[in-house]
Amino acid sequence: MASALARTVFVRRFHVSASRHALSKFAMPAMSPTMTEGGIASWKKKEGESFSAGDVLLEIETDKATIDVEAQDDGILAKIIAQDGAKNIAVGSPIAIIGEEGDDISGAEQLAAEAASEKPKAPAKEEKAPEAPKPEPTPEKKAEPPKQEKQETKSELPEGDRIFATPIAKKIALERGIPLAKVKGSGPNGRILREDVEKYQAPAAGASATPSTAVPSPSASLPEYTDIPVSNMRRTIGSRLTQSKQELPHYYLTLDINMDKVLKLREVFNKTLGEKDKSAKLSVNDFVLKAVACALADVPEANSAWLGEVIRQYKKADISVAVATPTGLITPIIKDVGSKGLASISAEGKALAKKARDGKLQPQEYQGGTFTVSNLGMFGINHFTAIINPPQSCILAVGATQPTLVPAPEEERGFKVAQIMKVTLSADHRTVDGAVGARWLSAFKGYLENPLTFML
């Protein structure tokens, strides 16, 4: 799908070139319906180099993966505008000048310069628009004597006992021993920003206080640190999860599940599979995914999405599986899990996880999904809560399986040791009521505590 989109763009551009026999601008393509900006991972062709249909021209970094862009027709890469490593390039912005064999590429430099000069024009207009209303209130404030402003800031603090500052501004002020009450904020409504704290200088009146201020200054020096640039993927994760936590009415249901039968069945299956293929082994997560799909078939209300005017209820369980990668979290999708066997689920899950870690997932492999599973049991985490991945309604947080003492009246001692796994369902109360969430968890528990029902 991604390559098809890219090819569509190429076809359109090359037809223009053919008709006019001239160079043309190649814009940042939209590799997915939700993509608004991207980055250049690397160009696979050099300036002036010819390419043929099917050749990979460049790799584009989206918010989720790195995607190859292939050429549909033969041509020549006349000039590269956006170099390797360029980030936050808006969809539709020119990234290169292309042409066909025989085109005069001497004008590529001028065309690239024109394309580059187009970029600042758009934001400049946007900046002018908000500036118009701002000058109106500023003269009113300036009309007041500056002495009154100082008095207001001093009087506001004791009255409200609250200083409006960004978290990073508070952190830096604490580290440097700067009193926020004396810092003038330049943000909206006088909010103190990071730059305000960094630019703060002690007042000149500190002649008498100089000796005392000079003492803590050595201890106020910042520790050594490294600033890591925020990737497109990390920025997207941050914005979407923040939006989910703030806008979705989360609630949480936790349940303990006896995994004794699953572990015994897994051992038998792996022994049989190991004889055919040593690398083919079922994980506990494979059983979890199958049980999720079966429970969604029993309680379809949990397999839904909030779309504003309607609640969409899905007929198949396309399960997103959270995978940790070096660049951040991504959720590849195993489609129609309910119709697949444990071996197929295991093989497909491993293949998608590898592609995710290599950054080679295609958009259709991670976009969509009807329910998400996040498993931290392999890290020894026995309990956690997860944030819903909108527009989905639910996400299941799976913890580690641990030996636990449980009541057993049939035993002589009255108790026994069982392998217990703790799971927590995070649900969106707009679509899944508490009773529905409880019914789904009960069905899920039933399948795992009687795993032979998978086979029926």
Q: Which two tokens stand for residue 29?
A: 């393509």
Q: Which two tokens stand for residue 382?
A: 């026995």
Q: Which long-range contacts (CB under 8 A, 24 or more apart) does 407-415 make?
A: none
Residue 316 DSSP one-character state: S
Q: Which amino acid is at 414?
A: G
Cβ neighbours of residue 91 under 8 Å, at least 6 residues apart?
27, 28, 29, 30, 35, 36, 37, 38
Residue 151 DSSP one-character state: H
394-407, strands of its sheet edge to edge: 250-258, 415-428, 394-407, 371-375, 319-321, 333-334
Residues with catalytic annotation? 429, 433
Using an 8 Å Cβ cutoff, are 402 and 420 in contact?
yes
The Cα 290–Cα 344 span in angstroms is 11
The Cα 28–Cα 119 span in angstroms is 13
Helix, strand, coil percent content, the chain, rounded in steps of 5: 45, 20, 35
Q: What is the 3-state secondary structure (H, E, C) of 345-404?
A: HHHHHHHHHHHHHCCCCCHHHCCCCCEEEEECHHHCCCCCCCCCCCCECEEEEEEEEEEE
The Cα 322–Cα 332 span in angstroms is 7
Torsion-angle region of 201 (φ positive above 0: left; ψ -120 to 50: alpha; else: beta): beta
Using an 8 Å Cβ cutoff, are 244 and 236 in contact?
no
